Amino acid sequence: MDFGSKFGGWEHLLLYSVVGAVFILLLWGLAKLVRWAKGMPVGGYVILALFPLISLFPIPPAEIKKLQRIKQEQVKRKQESGDPPSDDEPTPP
């Protein structure tokens, strides 16, 4: 089913308006956050302390497998092209 056939004419306008409003609100919120952090040195430290917490979320195993497969394909392509391995790249097992 096509996206265009699922919705009529005015639904597109409503959808784009909602997405645009959310985007503008996000930018506005981030700008207020930056102004708050600049106004209070403690606020800046709090933001710097909280943003690294994003890295605590685990990477899904499927994504890790995709990355490993991509790396293996790159190594195979380099070996097939006949380029000598450089010092900074690990040799495949």
Domain locations in the chain as residue ranges? 3-80
Residue 6 has pLDDT above 70, yes or no: no
pLDDT of residue 18: 94
Residue 1 has pLDDT above 50, yes or no: no
Render pLDDT for 55-72 as a digit per residue (tens, 0 to 9). Answer: 777 777 888 888 899 999
pLDDT band at 20 (very low <50, low <70, confident <90, very high): very high
Query: Which of left, alpha, beta for 14 (phi over 0: left; psi -120 to 50: alpha)?
Result: alpha
Using CA atoms, how far apart are residues 75 and 90, in angstroms rounded to an integer? 10
Mean pLDDT of 71-89: 75
